[in-house]
Structures are given as structure tokens and as C-alpha cells.
Amino acid sequence: MKALFLLLIILNVAYAAKPIEKGTRWDQLMKLVNQEMKILENAKRKGTEIQYRMLELHSEKLKLIHEKNNIAFMEKSKTQNVSGKKETFFKESRDYYNLTKSFGINILKTNPQNNRRAEVLYVLGLNSRDYGRDNIAEKTLLESISLIKDPFNSLRHHAETALADHYYNEKQFDNAIVYYERSIKVMEDDWRTKHLFNLSWCYLKVRNFNKAISNIREAYFQSKNRSYVNIKDQVLENVGSFYVYAGIPLEGLEFYLKNEKDPIHYLMPMALKAMDKGYQPETEKILGSVQQLIDTNKWLQYQEELFHTYLDFYRHYNKFEDHQRISKNLVAYYKKADSINTSKAIKLPVNMKDDAIEKMRTLAGFLQIKLAKDGKENEASFKDKDLNIVLAYFNHLIVLDPKRKAEYLYFRAETFYSVRKFAEAAPTYVEAIEESKKVKNLELSRKALNSLLALTGMEILEKNTNKKFLIYAYTEHISVWPRDEKSELIYPKLFSIYRELHDDLRATALLKKYNEAYPEHLKDQQKMMTQILDQFIEKKDTRKLAYWIGEMKTGFLKFSLDMIVKTEIVLGNILFIQYQQMAKNGNKLEAAKGFESIYVNKLYTDKVKSQSAFFAALTYLEMGETAVSWNWQVLAYGRMTEAEKLERREEQLKIAERTYKLQDFKTSYKLSEFLLKKFCALKDDVQNRFYEIAVMTALVEENTNGAEHIVTDYRRCLKKTETETAALSQIYQHFEKHGDFFGLRAFVKRHPINPYLNQYRFSLQKWYWEKSNLNLKDQIKQEYKALNHSETIAWLKEMSQFEAVKSQVEELETAVIWNKAKFDGDEFNKNLEAYLLKLQKFKESYQNLTQSTQVDLAILSTRVFSEVYLTVGERIQGLKPAGMDEQTGKEFQAAMKQLSAQFMTASRQFEQQLDKALKEKETLAWGSRSIASVEEVENPVFSFFTGLTMDKSRD
């Protein structure tokens, strides 16, 4: 039974508060309780011990039921407000409490003198204290204590501590003190630290601060003793308040600094408590100590919380300058956190950022109202430092809360306005308006605009400055609200400003907007436009005059035809002489613009228009504007007669050449093709040159399709066929130079003539050996198979051979000649002979590659043979078998050196041939790319016994 009860305790401690499910620890506990209860209920004789054990089980079950009810209550409270229905959740607990209580009282009644009476009363008292509403805890616990005369009895001690806890919960602190004082004298009690802690709170409640501090300190130090339950964290969270209540917060600071390595978590709450109690200097000293700890130990995880504690402290005592200084530091902290927290470095906490924003907002609002009130009462009564503090807060808020930047800018402007700093207010209103537009806050935008209009209406700013802000306010207002009561008055006023400034661009743009918003004011708008036209005529601004004539013709402001004709006549009288003079004076840009305006003006003939367009084209070409020049050439052609077009042809050839020299190959191509097509029938040198230019410029732009289009579609326009042949050769070389396999293959298929078909095989061969792209190599192999040419088939075989060379080389280089611990001459000769026969077989299999017509393959193969023979020579020379006497060793080394020399000589012969081949590579003709064979070297085999070199291959 006892073992089962201990298991219940263990499982109960491990139980986690979560919804009850089948198979959980709660379920297991309940099963265990019910099982034991069933066993006891079936007992035939139920003596005092069994009855008392059943009371314990009822109490344990009561605890489990209460836990289940509490979990259900907590889960429901997450989604609903159940505070008024709490009792309904705990009905099962209350009912089972009454059952348990009745069971215990029945034990007392049926056997009043039983030896478990004190224990039963103790259990009844505990259950009443924790689960009951009948207030029998004090009575039953006192009765239990009275029955136990031995002051050192453990049950009496537990009853006294339970009674002390009861008095503590009921706020009967004097009574609790009596029993806690008894409890702490039992040094064997694991919970002595908790009793000391509770006792300290009791003394605090009765304002006996010395004993309160003494007992809570004792709880702290005793928690370090493993014999007691460690409540160090609870003590540390509360001891600071004890020192504050006692009026000695600095002693609390000393306690934390002396006893805790990292006391910051406890010092800041103590500082706030000291602040609330009016200990200003002490609070500041505590916070200073925290900052010193952070700086010394680099405990940046506390910095945010400390800044906020400082903010609360300075706000509490209205120290606004200090508050703003800390706010500035906090903004810098958050900016640093943003930059650090994006990397893998240690992150800085930013959990209180929203709280920081709210603290700064509320204080800034309070100070703004105070500042405005001071400024209203007496213009000179406010202090600049007060203004600067308010403005600084808005700056901080813009950084921390950028989504509300527009609002903070508006508050800044309003702050300037409230203290009559209008020169600063105006641009700040503009900032607020611009930011409001970005975030589409029309309400705030309108408020700021109205304030700016009110400010400019006062006319207290410098005249030009006031006009600048007035224009801005007018423009923004009609932009956002093009039609409302205020806008209707703004249009004429804003137009008058623009006309006085001779700003015709904005004046005419305004007229368009005015007409769109208020078409009913057409006559007024026409009068305004005639004022602008008069300005153009007065300044002889023919370009603008011509433009607006065109706009009027398309219906702008519905001017009459008679009015438009009169304006055109005036323009013609000004225009023609003016542009001719500009061209003579070399003012090319303005002359070109002038020629353009003549071209677009319907007053002039096609001949004049074609000349003006062509001159505009030449002028733009001189300025390097090749694309614009081409556009004007096209327009000029559209107005020319056929005779004029032919007359201009050679001049346009020079234009095409000049255009590609200016690196505009696309335009040069378009011009050349255009004239090739236009004058194809002439078939003269000029046409040949256009043909050459078109092919060349297309290839420079990687436009191979365009180049072939010129070759095939315009060959009929050529005087000489050699020009076409040269062009095709250029295209072939372009594909070859760029390593464009698919482009070259398609080109050869489109032009299947012998020069390209023959060269194509060698181009692919050159790419195969010179480029590293494996996909390209595979494509070349496939193409060689498709070509099915005897030469390409032979090349494919050699390529496959060379791929096999790599594994053979590795086998030769890694093969073991001799590695036995004891030397045997005959065995050694056999091994060496076998190795050299492998080398002979390798040579016979692959030496043909050194004579390949694929010169790159021949070079690579020759290099392989050179390296292989060198490696073999070095390996033979380095052989030093173990187990030889001194004389035999010397003879062996001499023989190996003689044998090795043959391979070294062969390697040098291959290397010399390789150097010669590399020097001649660039001069070798396609189709004869091979290297002469190297002097044959037979496989020598060394005989240790005779010391002779024999050629076994001749046996």
C-alpha cells in the first residue's frame, strides 16, 4: 500500500497541466487510486488503518478531480469569458470534497479514541484549506495540534505549518507569525526556506521591516543548502521591494550586487518600486548601477528594458530633457538592432518597441499642447529648448514608426506654427503633404494643405518664398481635388501667377486641367490662352507657337478656325528666315529643331518639308544622334520626288558609313537595306557597297539571320558575284569564331557547297580538341557520325582510342613492379618483364595517335607518351628492393640506371617532337595535321643474373 501511495506522489509531480485524455498520467493516477480503493473497500474488516488509508485515497482523488476541473476552466477561459460561471466548472470538486469530508468525520464519530484521530483531523484541515468553503481548516488543524503533545512530532510540525499557511492566506499575519516561527525551528524540514519566506512577508505586512528583511535574507542563504527546497528565485524577485518598503533601497542594491553575479533582472523592478515610493536619487543610482553592469559585462540583452525603465523614471519626475536624451539613445539602439538582427550575430531584444513608440507619442503630445499654450499666452514665453525637445520626439517617432511619418511631419509643422515660426512651418507642411501622398492619406493631406494655405494667406513670409509655397499649395489642392469650391477659385489665381512668371508650360498645363474640371468656363479659358499666345509672338518663340497651333487644330479649348488661321500666318512670317540664319551660324541643335517645326507645320509645301527633314537628319548625324537622324531621313524620303531620292543616294551612302563609324550598326543596317531594296535595279558600285555595309553591320550586332537575309534576298542587286562569296565567308567565320555549333551546322546545310562542307569538318575538329564543353564534344561526335565521311569516321575512332588512353596510363603508373620483403632475382625479372610488356602493348595500341591528321590529338598523344616514358624511367631508376647484399645492390642500381636511361631518352625524343609540333601548329594546313613518328623504342627486360639487357620480344 505504501509503495502504491509513493508511486501516486511521483506520478502526480510529473503530471503536466493539459486537457485530460485517455492514457495520460492523470488517467493512470486515477486508475491507481480507484484500484487501491476497490481493494480496501472489499476488505472484510476495516480497521482504523484501512479507514485512514481510504481517507488518504479520497483526498488524492479529490486533488485529481480538482486538477481536471481547473484544466477545463482554464481551457474554456481562453475562448470565452467564464469568470462568472467558475463555480459550475468546480461542482464535481465541491461534491467530492463533501464526500471526503463526510468520510473523515464518520471515522472520528465511529471511533473517537482511535490512534489516527490527529492524522484524520490534519487531513480534514488540509482539504478544507485547499478545496472547501466550510471554514473548518483552523478548527481541525488546532484540534490536531492539541492531540499531539510532543512538540517535536513531525505530524504536529506539518499541522502547524499548514495552520501558518492558512493564517497567511486569510491575512491573519500575527497568528501566522506565531506558527511560522515554530516551523522554522525544525531544521530537518525540507520546506524551511519557504516558511522563512512566508514569515518574512508576514513581518512585512505588520511593518516589522527589520525582521522581514532578516527572514527573507535567511531564506535566500538557506536556499543554497541542498538540504532545503531552493526558493532563491522567489526571494530575489521580492527582496528588493522589502528594502524599498523599509526605506533603505540602496542597501537592497548592495545586497543584489554582493550576492548575485547577474542581478539586473531584479534591480530594474526594484528601481521602479523605489521610484513609486518617491526615492528619486536612490532610483537614479540603482539605474546607474544597472547601466554600469551592462557596459562592463556587455549584457546588451538588458539594454532595451533599462532604457524603458529610465523613460518611466524621467516621466514620473517630469525630467523632460533627460527623457528625450534617453529616447534618442533608444532610437539609436533600435537602429543598431535592425542592422544586427538581420545577420547571424547575437540579436538585440526589440520586444518593447511598440511601448517605446507609445511613450514618446504621449509625451510629445503633452509637451506640444503645453508649448502651444505657452506660445498663445505670450509669444516670447516658450523656450527654444522646449521646442527642440518636442521636435526631437517627432524625429524619433519618424525613425521608430515610419508608417506614421506623415502624421509626425504634420505635428512638427503644427508645432512650428503654434510658436509662430512660420518659415520653418511652411517646408514642414510640404514634407507632410508629400508623405501623405505616398501613403494615400487624403484626410491628413487636406489638413496640411489647408494649414499651408492659411499660412501663405497671412503673407508674412518673404514675397518670393510665400509665392513658392502658395504655388505648391494651389497645385497640390487642384491635383487631389480638381473640382470643389476651393479649387474653382484657385485655377484663375494660379494661372495669373504662372503668366506673370512667363511660365507658359505650367500655365498651359493648368488650362488643360481647368478645362477638364470646369468646361463651363470655356470663354474665360480661351482668353487666358490668347494671353499666352501673345507672349509667344512677342518673344518670337516659333516652336511653342507652332506646337499650340497644332493643339488648337486638334480641338484644344475649341478655338474657331479663323483664330487658328490668323495665328498660323503670324507664325509663318516669323519662322522661315529665322531657321535659315541659325543653320548658317552653326547653331545646329536649334536649327534642327527649327527644321523639325517647319516639317510638322502644315503651312509649308512637301519640297520645303522634305528639305527641312533631310537637313534635320544631317544635323542630328553631326551631333551623333544616329537613330534620330534615321527617323528624319525616312520622313524626308516620304516627301521627296523620285528624282530627288536618286540625287541623294550617294550622299546617303556616306551617311550609312558615318553611322556605323559612330557605332550605331543597327541604324546603318536599316539604311543600307532600305536603299538596297529601293535601287536594286541599278547594280552599281554604290549598291555593292550598301550590300557590304549591311552584311558587316548585321554580323557586328550578332544578327546572322539579318546578314543571310541580305546575302540571299539582295544578291540580284549586285554588280559583282565576288561580293556575295565574300559575304558568305564572313558569316561562316562569324559562326566559327563564336563556337556556334548549331548556327554553323544550319549555315552549312543552307549553303551545301564544297568550300564550306570541307572546312566544316575541320572547324568541328578544331572545336573538339580546343574547347572544354562536354555537350559540344558530344554534339560534334554525333555530327561526325551523321556526315558519314571516311575522314570523320577515322577521326571518331581515334577519339575513342584517346579516351581509352587515360585508363591505360593510370594502370601503368599505379602498377606494382616489386614490393616483396625478400628479393628473388628470377621472380623480379618476371615481374619487370611483365610490366615492360604492358608498356610495349600500350605503345603498340596507341602510338598511331601520334601520327593522326588531327594535329591536336597528335600533340596530346605525344605528350602522353612523353609523360608515360618519363614516369616509367623514374620508377625503374627508383627501384630499391630489400634483402640485397651491398655488392648485389650496387650491380642492381647500375643495371636499373642503364635501363632507366633508355626510357628517359625516349621521353625526351617525344618531348622534342612535341615542341616542334606546337611551334608549327598554327602553320599546319587543314587535312595534313600530323606529327612524324618518334624513333622506335623496344621494351627492354633486365636479367639480374647476367646483368645483360635482352629483348624478349625477339625471342
Provide the 8-state DSSP code for 298.
Answer: T
251 pLDDT higher than 90: yes
193 pLDDT higher than 90: yes
Contact predicate 541/573, CB 8 Å? no
C-alpha cell at 109: 464519530
Over residues 243-272, the mean pLDDT reads 94
Q: Which residue would you say has higher pLDDT here, 917 or 811?
A: 811
pTM: 0.52
624 pLDDT higher than 70: yes
Over residues 659-682, the mean pLDDT reads 84
Contact predicate 49/35, CB 8 Å? no
What's residue 381's pLDDT?
A: 56
How many angstroms from the chain centroid is the CA of residue 842?
58
What's residue 403's pLDDT?
A: 93
Of 128-142, 249-263, 302-316, 600-614, where does mean pLDDT reach its minimum? 600-614
Angle (deg, nearest 10), helices 264-276 and 232-245? 30
Over residues 300-321, the mean pLDDT reads 91
CA angle (35, 41, 42) in 5-degree steps = 95
What's residue 15's pLDDT?
A: 41
269 pLDDT higher than 50: yes
pLDDT range class, residue 944, cuts 50, 70, 90: very low
C-alpha cell at 182: 515554530
Contact predicate 334/353, CB 8 Å? yes
Nearest-angstrom CA–CA distance, 519 and 278 = 71
Q: Which residue would you say has higher pLDDT here, 918 or 232?
A: 232
Q: Which candidate, 863, 775, 853, 833, places its Cα nearest to that of 952?
A: 833
Residue 810 Cα distances to 64, 814, 867, angstroms: 78, 6, 12
Nearest-angstrom CA–CA distance, 576 and 605 = 13
How many angstroms from the chain centroid is the CA of residue 151?
71
What's residue 642's pLDDT?
A: 84
- Residue 446: count other Cβ atoms within 10 Å of its Cβ: 17
Nearest-angstrom CA–CA distance, 848 and 866 = 14
| Beta-sheet pairing, 941-942 with 949-950 | antiparallel
Over residues 600-608, the mean pLDDT reads 66
195 CB-side CA count, 13 A: 25
Provide the 8-state DSSP code for 262.
Answer: S
Nearest-angstrom CA–CA distance, 681 and 875 = 78
Of 146-155, 224-233, 812-821, 870-879, where does mean pLDDT reach its minimum? 812-821
Dihedral angle computed from the Cα positions of residues 888, 889, 895 and 896, in that order, rounded to the nearest 10 degrees: 150
What's residue 47's pLDDT?
A: 81
Nearest-angstrom CA–CA distance, 474 and 358 = 35
Over residues 551-570, the mean pLDDT reads 82
CA angle (233, 234, 239) in 5-degree steps = 100
- Residues facing residue 942 across a β-bridge: 949
Over residues 673-694, the mean pLDDT reads 84
583 pLDDT higher than 80: no
Which tens digit of pLDDT belongs to each residue from 687-728? 888 888 888 888 788 888 887 788 888 888 887 778 877 887
Over residues 832-851, the mean pLDDT reads 84
What's residue 236's pLDDT?
A: 95
603 pLDDT higher than 80: no
Q: Which candidate, 93, 59, 58, 57, places its Cα nearest to that of 73?
A: 93
Percent of the chain's residues with pLDDT above 90: 25
Nearest-angstrom CA–CA distance, 348 and 336 = 8
What's residue 194's pLDDT?
A: 96
Contact predicate 684/719, CB 8 Å? yes
Over residues 231-237, the mean pLDDT reads 94
pLDDT range class, residue 945, cuts 50, 70, 90: very low
What's residue 384's pLDDT?
A: 83
Contact predicate 740/759, CB 8 Å? no
608 pLDDT higher than 70: no
Task: Answer positive or negative: Cα dihedral of 546, 548, 551, 556.
Answer: negative
C-alpha cell at 101: 469530508
Q: Which residue would you say has higher pLDDT here, 83 or 5?
A: 83
Of 366-380, 388-402, 606-620, 665-679, where does mean pLDDT reach its minimum? 366-380
Which tens digit of pLDDT belongs to each residue from 420-465? 888 998 999 999 898 998 998 988 988 989 899 889 888 888 989 9
Of 227-231, 347-351, 572-576, 951-955, where does mean pLDDT reach its minimum? 951-955
Which tens digit of pLDDT belongs to each residue from 341-353? 666 556 788 889 8
Nearest-angstrom CA–CA distance, 291 and 347 = 19
Amino acid in the structure at residue 119: E
- Residue 607: count other Cβ atoms within 10 Å of its Cβ: 12
Which H or E element spans position 950? strand 949-950
What's residue 580's pLDDT?
A: 62
Nearest-angstrom CA–CA distance, 477 and 433 = 10
Which tens digit of pLDDT belongs to each residue from 107-165? 888 888 888 998 999 999 999 898 888 889 899 999 889 889 888 899 999 999 999 99
pLDDT range class, residue 419, cuts 50, 70, 90: confident
Contact predicate 632/613, CB 8 Å? yes
Nearest-angstrom CA–CA distance, 849 and 934 = 12
What's residue 910's pLDDT?
A: 84
SS3 category, 942: strand
Contact predicate 215/203, CB 8 Å? yes
Q: What does the mean pLDDT of the chain come to?
A: 83
Provide the 8-state DSSP code for 941.
Answer: E
Which tens digit of pLDDT belongs to each residue from 74-104? 888 888 887 777 788 888 889 888 898 888 8
CA angle (560, 563, 564) in 5-degree steps = 90
Spatial CB neighbours of 737, under 8 Å, sequence gap ≥ 6: none
Burial of 692 (0-12, 13-18, 19+ CB in 10 A): middle
Amino acid in the structure at residue 729: S
pLDDT range class, residue 893, cuts 50, 70, 90: confident
What's residue 568's pLDDT?
A: 66
Over residues 42-58, the mean pLDDT reads 85
Which tens digit of pLDDT belongs to each residue from 754-800? 777 778 788 877 887 888 788 888 887 888 788 888 887 878 888 88
- What values do phi and psi take at 112, rounded to 5? -60, -30
- What values do phi and psi take at 229, rounded to 5? -65, 135
List the end-to-end C-alpha distance of the chain, in Å, as a whole number.
102
946 pLDDT higher than 70: no
